[in-house]
Amino acid sequence: MNDIVPNVLELLVCPRCHQQLTWAYEASELVCTGPACGLAYPVRGGIPILVEDEARAARA
């Protein structure tokens, strides 16, 4: 199961900038909506890995 429960998604924020995260279903990751941040955090087995060392830059 790789889906994030919508109620849980509302509670999650980016560990770096504290902006809301959005679910990128195809990539199975959570992407920060902060304009200066934009990190993408992986979701493995339905569990968001909200660790900066595991994130990738979603925007150039």
pLDDT of residue 47: 87
**Under a CB-based contact definition with an 8 Å cutoff, are residues 15 and 50 in contact?**
yes
The one-letter amino acid at 49: I
**Under a CB-based contact definition with an 8 Å cutoff, are residues 4 and 24 in contact?**
no
pLDDT of residue 60: 52
Handedness of CA 31, 14, 33, 5 (dihedral sign): positive
Q: Is the pLDDT of residue 9 over 70?
A: yes
What does the pLDDT look like over 11-58, one tens digit per residue? 999 999 999 999 998 898 999 999 999 899 999 888 899 999 999 998
Q: Strand pairing partners for 43?
A: 48
pLDDT of residue 1: 43
Q: Strand pairing partners for 23?
A: 30
pLDDT of residue 46: 83
* Cα separation, 45 vs 58, whole angstroms: 21
